[in-house]
């Protein structure tokens, strides 16, 4: 793999090899930024153009482009496609945002949510037994690819599930993942106290690629899929 994650401005969208979109938290951004740097490449640029605290964009643009939910992120992709920024796109979102089976929920939201594009063919599971890494071929004048990475599991449908698992295995400390978003700051403070890492990006700095696959299987599989799409 050859990645270099970076925050970029709207003006540089067309220079990006991949546009990465997350929910309203920063944890996934820090994590992907660190993971891609550990993969020791510079050929592919991942862009996080929606992330307002890193950009000097107007409040009006922030409202239009900043994702909050799955449907909002899909609409953001529609906005980018209208601007002729045709991806591929990487969506990283927590399982808690889905009310039914992931594939069915995505299809329904795209077909009924007026997101600005349609689905071509079937939504493909990249890991056939699971729905947590998916490939969607979108269509709006031209075809484009969306890789969806869903974080967490039924016991904790958030990215913090993976962090808690990592800490239990690597540090021998069981730490309960946050049940609500308001508890995420307390959780991060516990992580920092146990590991010394100030954020999730710093936490993975010393992990091997094998460890990354163990603790973040969906995310690593999604990055591999993006790498293959960029090579096409």
**Are 75 and 91 a contacting pair, CB within 8 Å?**
no
Find where tokens 């605290």 sit: 53
Closest CA to 74 of 108, 27, 46: 108
pLDDT at 55: 47
User: What averages of pLDDT result for each successive group of 10 residues across the chain (232 residues)?
Assistant: 69 79 75 82 66 53 65 84 83 86 90 88 86 92 92 89 95 90 87 92 90 93 89 76
Model confidence pTM above 0.95: no
Helix (H) or strand (E) holding 170: helix 160-171
Task: Express each pLDDT in 45-65 by its tens digit.
Answer: 777 765 544 445 556 656 666
pLDDT at 1: 63
pLDDT at 67: 60
Other beta carbons less than 10 A from residue 82's beta carbon: 12
CA distance 210 to 69: 31
pLDDT at 9: 66
């Amino acid at each position: 793999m050859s990645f270099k994650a970076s925050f970029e401005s709207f003006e540089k969208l067309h220079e990006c090899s991949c546009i990465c979109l997350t929910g309203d938290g920063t944890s996934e951004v820090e994590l992907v930024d660190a993971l891609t740097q550990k993969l020791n490449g510079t050929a592919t640029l991942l862009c996080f153009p929606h992330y307002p605290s890193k950009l000097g964009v107007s409040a009006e643009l922030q409202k239009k482009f900043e994702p909050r939910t799955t449907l909002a992120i899909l609409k953001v992709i529609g906005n980018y496609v209208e601007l002729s920024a045709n991806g591929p796109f990487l969506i990283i979102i927590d399982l808690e945002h889905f009310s039914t089976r992931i594939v069915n929920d995505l299809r329904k939201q795209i077909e009924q949510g007026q997101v600005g594009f349609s689905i071509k063919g079937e939504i493909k599971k990249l890991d056939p037994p699971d729905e947590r890494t998916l490939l969607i071929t979108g269509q709006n004048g031209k075809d484009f690819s969306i890789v969806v990475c869903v974080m967490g599991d039924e016991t904790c449908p958030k990215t913090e599930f993976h962090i808690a698992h990592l800490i239990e295995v690597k540090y021998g400390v069981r730490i309960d993942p946050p049940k609500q978003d308001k508890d995420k700051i307390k959780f991060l403070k516990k992580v920092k106290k146990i590991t010394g890492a100030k954020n999730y990006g710093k936490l993975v700095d010393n992990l091997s690629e094998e460890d990354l696959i163990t603790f973040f299987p969906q995310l690593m599989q999604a990055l591999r899929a993006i790498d293959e799409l960029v090579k096409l």
